[in-house]
Amino acid sequence: MFKDFYIPLRIFSSYSIGESNIRIEDVVKFCKTHKIPAFCITDRNDLFGMLECSLLAKKNGIQYIPGLTLKVRLDEVVSDAAEIEIVLIATNERGVKNLTILSSLLYMRVEKANDETEFALMAIEDKVPCNLCLRQISEYCEGLIVLWGTADKDFLCRLNSTNEELQATIGNIITQLKASLSSAELYIEISRVEDNIFYTAESAFIAFCSLNHIPIVASCIATHMSVSDAEACDVMMCISNGTYIATKDRKAVQKGEFLRTYDEFQSLFADLPKAVENTIALARKCSFMPQSSSPRLPTFASRAQEDLILRQRTLKGLEEKVEKMTEETKMLYFERLQRELDVICSMGFSGYFLVVSDFIRWSRDNDIAVGPGRGSAVGSIVAWVLNITALDPIKFNLLFERFLNPARISMPDIDVDFCQLGRDRVIEYVKKKYGSDRVAHIITFGKLQPRAVLRDVGRVLQIPYRVVDRICKMIPNNPAHPIDLATAVAIDKSLQEMSKTDDDVRRLIEIGLKLEGLHRHISMHSAGVVISDTTLLGDVPLCKTQDSDLILVQYSMKYTELAGLVKFDFLGLKTLTVIAQTCNIIKQHRGIQIDISNLPLTDVKTFEMLTKGLTVGVFQFEGVGMKEAIKGLKPDSIDDLIALSSLYRPGPMSNIPSYNRRKHGLEAVEYIHPRIADVLKDTYGIIIYQEQVIEIARVIANYSLGEADLLRRAMGKKDKNEMAKHQSTFIENAVKNGIEEKSAIEIFDTVNKFASYGFNKSHAAAYSIISYQTAYLKAHYPIEFLCILMNLDIMQTNKLAIYCNEARLLQIQIKPPSINFSYSEFMIEGNEIRYGLEAIKGVSSQLVKEICAEREKNGTFKSILDFIYRIKNKELNKRNMEQMIKACAFAELYPNIKELLENVENLIKESEYHSEMAIANLKQNSLFKKSLPKKNSIDELENFIKTSSLNDNERAMFEYQALGFYLLHNPLQIWRLDLQRSFVSQISEIEELVFKIENEEQKDITKKVAGIITSLKVRSSSSGKGGKFAFMQLCDETGFLDVSIFNEAILIAQKDLLAEGQIIVCNVEIRKDNFGVRITVESVERIDAYDKVKDYIFPITDFQSMKRLSSFLDSNRKHDGAYVRIATHDNENNVIIVWKSKSKYDLNNENLEELKNEEIVYIRYDDEAKLCQYFFKKN
């Protein structure tokens, strides 16, 4: 009867993170291949894959049995000795519910109140998952089968009993299980692998069951699919536990833990045929598989009431919005509102809108900034009048059908941006309103990516780092178009060759291929929160991470939604924090109240600033490439910002030059057909938005907006079957609409091409409003705006360097840190910004707080000694004193920084001695207290060291060490004019070239760039020949740049020059290959090769003056002379070099004066007076 198959009951899937590499789809495929009708997954502690597994099994006609493995305490006392591991298997719907509750209880305590379940989480420092006691399980064991037996290796390893004592111990526990879990059915599990090391225990279990008529069931734990996967599974376990494969006494995969065929399983249990039969008998008792569910919205009111409330509120909201419009225009808005409401109410989504509008209203009432909108919801007039969004969809030509399509019923998805600092408060409000037992976050699973898995495997196998690193760098890393490991190996012949010739590489890649994509860890989804209409406990499994007390649904987002839970995205957007805090500081600093939601969208000053490319801190537009794009666009309207933010993406980016030319009348605007001119006129004939695709289908082929959205989706997904249907319908309808067939085909093909990367205009419009708001604040209140940017990025040195450079361009002075005037953060002083003390590297926030508090209480510090006597914080040590001194924080108290640094130890000793004396004094009777001895000046300190003052180079070096960049003393500034004349680029210019090469707007190029070495890491080559290469970071006034040096000759020849702090000029090759754009150093020069010299001007006025110059140069050639460069000025007075001589000339002062005294007559070029100069410079 049961001779053809068995049911595997102890499969651990890859959701048992770090314990198994079995993928669920592989289990289903195995069961289909071997005609196994059912299987049970018994992951440890969690049910992460329960719904996924159930749906996949059902789709393939296989029964999935939900199970759970967990540790149980036999009594209330926490003790390993009284702990066993059991398996719980759900037999029916009640059993599945109890399984989810028990899995959840491993992470939280539950209290019941008013017949409602509320969660009270375990303290964050508690171990999670915890172990439950038998009493807790007894409350939720209905509908469950319990397995316990020889699979409990930890329990068996603890036993050192005789056979009789062993039987007694096992018998007592089984009796206790039967008594405590009387609502469940108990099976004793006989689990075997190839080496049955627990033979004695197995005999004891079988004997007791035989005497007491308890059924036994056979099992074989499976943690990998086949014998050949065992090594990869073992490596996975090492990755999870932080061990090496060679580590002794580590936790390891037991031999034989693979998924067996019936013959293999039957052979293993040939002596226990009844136990094999019982796998099928047990499975037949399991009748319920979790299924997907329709969405269950949180209850705002009854369904009828929700529809009524929504209509009332939206009508009132619209009346307020259109109050000043004409009657004809009002009618247009009311008709649109009615149409949207009919769709929303018919779909049953009224409550959804009310829930979202409620927590947004609460946020605004509680001074938490909310974004103007996000995604396609911005196209809804209902969302606008409820103040969910801030854009009038009719004014911006946005479509409701892009958001909710009556032809394609699906849940609305309104994502909401909040100020980062207020987001958690909004979620807490939602928990209080709907019940903390009905609100949870969503889990995410970190997976082993191609490069990461190779590095993990390499570490575990202890393959030399240089080998692993070399292989990893051969794997393409392109987030936009990710390539898996198998594809990377298939397309790279050198990788294939290395795998054949090097055993380490072969093993690394083979194991990497088996582990790639497996779960590595769990974390919390950045935005997703579910709000349920009923308690979540028992509905879905819940958990929490070790480092957070927030409740998570154990399913990933996809399966959370399939379980019927409705997701709301609460996103924290840093830019909203920037805007809110800037408005607050403007009010404090200037007494001006900014109404950020009602700014004029035509502000000239804002667009002039953007046109200059001053976009640092401007939302969406601060990248190097975007800066160049916006300078070319010269925007003068919000529509330009919407268009550029939509075009600036892979694919449509190539249309930016054409868009710019058409905007400025330099290229004719063309339309693929006259009938769509109105649709494309605002974008100069270029299809940019998804909404335009929908409108074209409506205008040309008489599609309804709902049908047109289905066409757009099909085009975006490149669904060939759907596209074939739509193409036929589109062309047929277009012809009926009076369009020639040839034109209809051309229009369809054009729309199809653009639809694949057309952008959602609703989202682009909302985010462009945020961009405009930041640009407006920066243009009108740059000091306040930059101050807030600096405070929000106070620990990010690279960003602070960029902000300080932007301040310099805007002629805003950043004052250095001051022990008497600086606070923790950056502060505004008049029209300047004072550097914050917490931004000094190595200075703790606790020390800064005490410094500020002491200053507020007892006034400013009068001297350096006054400071060390008054500050008694244990954080005041040599390290942070040195950092504050180097940052010039004590400059007003003691200008000789070098001398202070030399005496830091003496100062700290004096501080410690003074503190000890103060403590001793406190312990004395008041009659015996002594006045504390204090020095009057620093030179009274014991072992005082006298030194000279800092030179400019030392001052710059100390500033860099303390702040991480050059604030006031950038050594490059004195060289900048000479570097510019010598064709040496700034780092920002190199970044612009990188962007252009990356987007194939520029060919590979070689350039010179000057910078200060901030980091240099020299590595040994993996070739085994001892070669060296290096990774180097440079910085200048405009930013940071990472470059590589692969020519070992450079490292040897320039050994003294290549060191942190040195200023150099590099000749770099900027080249694009399969791995992206690389910047490689080809040569290095000293900065002093670019000495400053006097500029000599010889204007070119006519042909005769050019002849005189030519004659002069011919007669003054000199081998060790100087090169000559011809330069002009542009409209903004920037120097542009137009010619460089190949020969050198003797340019002594006497010769030059002779040339300079020639009679000069200025002429005009291109209707603008331009001075053409000769610069002579020593090389």
Can you give the CATH number for the domain in which 925 is found?
Answer: 1.10.150
Which of 574, 591, 610 is the last residue before a domain boundary?
574
Nearest to 586 by CA among 601, 599, 573: 599
- The whole-number average pLDDT for the span 413-439 is 93
**Is 495 among the domain residues?**
no
Tokens of 1177: 């410079």
Same domain, 953 and 991: no
Q: What is the pLDDT of residue 712?
A: 85
- 3-state class (DSSP) for residue 356: helix
Q: Does the pLDDT value for residue 1094 go beyond 50?
A: no
Q: Are 655 and 647 in contact (CB under 8 A)?
A: yes
Q: What is the pLDDT of residue 508?
A: 95
**Is 533 among the domain residues?**
yes
C-alpha angle 218-222-228 in degrees, rounded to nearest 5: 130
Q: What is the pLDDT of residue 976?
A: 78
Q: Does the pLDDT value for residue 397 go beyond 70?
A: yes
Q: What is the pLDDT of residue 708?
A: 87
**When comparing pLDDT for 715 and 893, which is higher?**
893
pLDDT in tens, 99-131: 999 999 998 877 665 555 555 444 344 666 888
Query: What is the C-alpha separation between 816 and 889, in angstroms, rounded?
Result: 7
Quickly count: other Cβ atoms within 10 Å of residue 1132's Cβ. Answer: 6
Query: What is the C-alpha separation between 891 and 814, in angstroms, rounded?
Result: 15
Query: What amino acid occupies position 978?
Result: D
Query: What is the C-alpha separation between 1170 and 172, in angstroms, rounded?
Result: 102
**Is 965 among the domain residues?**
no
C-alpha angle 1059-1064-1067 in degrees, rounded to nearest 5: 120
Tokens of 117: 């379940």
CATH number of the domain that 366 lies in?
3.30.1900.20
Query: What is the C-alpha separation between 1042 and 1021, in angstroms, rounded?
Result: 19
**When comparing pLDDT for 805 and 8, which is higher?**
8
Which letter, b or e, does each residue of 355-385 get, where b requires 16 or more Cβ atoms within 10 Å of its Cβ?
A: bbbebbeebeeeebbbbbbbbbbbbbbbbbb
Q: Specify the number of domains making up the chain.
A: 6
Same domain, 596 and 730: yes
Nearest to 138 by CA among 95, 82, 177, 81: 177
**Is 1070 among the domain residues?**
yes
Q: Are 74 and 173 in contact (CB under 8 A)?
A: yes
Burial of 207: CB neighbours in 10 Å, binned 0-12, 13-18, 19+: middle
Q: Is 731 left (phi over 0), alpha (psi -120 to 50) or beta?
A: alpha
Same domain, 353 and 319: yes
Which of 775, 802, 821 is the last residue before a domain boundary?
775
| Domain housing 891 | 812-960
- The whole-number average pLDDT for the span 294-319 is 92
Q: Which residue has the tokens 């036929």?
A: 728
Q: Does the pLDDT value for residue 194 go beyond 80?
A: no
**Is 404 among the domain residues?**
yes
Same domain, 875 and 951: yes
Length of the chain: 1179
Same domain, 276 and 349: no
**Beta strand 519-531 with 439-447: parallel, antiparallel or unpaired?**
antiparallel
Tokens of 823: 């606070």
**Is 469 among the domain residues?**
no
**When comparing pLDDT for 287 and 94, which is higher?**
94
Which of 1090, 1117, 1139 is the last residue before a domain boundary?
1090
CATH number of the domain that 158 lies in?
3.20.20.140
Same domain, 1130 and 1024: no
Same domain, 953 and 997: no
Q: What is the pLDDT of residue 1100?
A: 57
Query: What is the C-alpha separation between 666 and 184, in angstroms, rounded?
Result: 81
Using only C-alpha atoms, what is the Rg of the chain?
37
Same domain, 1082 and 1108: no
- The whole-number average pLDDT for the span 1104-1125 is 68
* Residue 127 phi, psi (nearest 5): -70, 130
**Is 10 among the domain residues?**
no
Residue 386's pLDDT band (cuts 50, 70, 90): very high
Mean pLDDT of the chain: 86
Same domain, 276 and 362: no
C-alpha angle 797-798-801 in degrees, rounded to nearest 5: 85
Q: What is the pLDDT of residue 312?
A: 96
pLDDT above 70 as % of the chain: 87
Q: Does the pLDDT value for residue 200 go beyond 70?
A: yes
Same domain, 53 and 143: yes
Query: What is the C-alpha separation between 280 and 48, in angstroms, rounded?
Result: 25
| Eight-class DSSP state of 227 | G
Quickly count: other Cβ atoms within 10 Å of residue 214's Cβ. Answer: 15
Residue 909's pLDDT band (cuts 50, 70, 90): confident
Q: Does the pLDDT value for residue 1164 go beyond 70?
A: no
**When comparing pLDDT for 930 and 208, which is higher?**
208
- The whole-number average pLDDT for the span 45-63 is 97
Q: What is the pLDDT of residue 109?
A: 78
> Among 17-26, 61-70, 200-209, 515-524, whose mean pLDDT is lowest?
200-209
Same domain, 873 and 934: yes
Q: Are 280 and 84 in contact (CB under 8 A)?
A: no
**When comparing pLDDT for 473 and 305, which is higher?**
305
**Residue 66 parent element (H or E):** strand 63-73
**When comparing pLDDT for 955 and 820, which is higher?**
820
Nearest to 474 by CA among 449, 457, 462, 491: 491
**When comparing pLDDT for 421 and 873, which is higher?**
421
CATH number of the domain that 1079 lies in?
2.40.50.140
Dihedral angle sign, alpha carbons of residues 255, 259, 265, 267: negative
pLDDT in tens, 582-615: 999 999 999 999 999 999 999 999 999 999 999 9
Q: Are 867 and 858 in contact (CB under 8 A)?
A: no
* Residue 428 phi, psi (nearest 5): -65, -40
* Residue 586 phi, psi (nearest 5): -65, -40
**Is 463 among the domain residues?**
no
Q: How far is CA 690 from CA 649, 710, 1167, in A?
A: 14, 11, 45
Dihedral angle sign, alpha carbons of residues 919, 923, 926, 930: negative
Q: What is the pLDDT of residue 2?
A: 47
Q: Which residue has the tokens 């010598």?
A: 982
Q: What is the pLDDT of residue 1090?
A: 74
**Residue 922 parent element (H or E):** helix 904-923
pLDDT in tens, 722-741: 788 888 899 999 999 999 99
Sheet holding 566-573, edge to edge: 415-419, 566-573, 519-531, 439-447, 552-553, 542-543
Residue 1129's pLDDT band (cuts 50, 70, 90): low
Same domain, 642 and 557: no
Q: Does the pLDDT value for residue 341 go beyond 70?
A: yes
Quote the distance between the C-alpha of residue 776 and its chain's center.
27
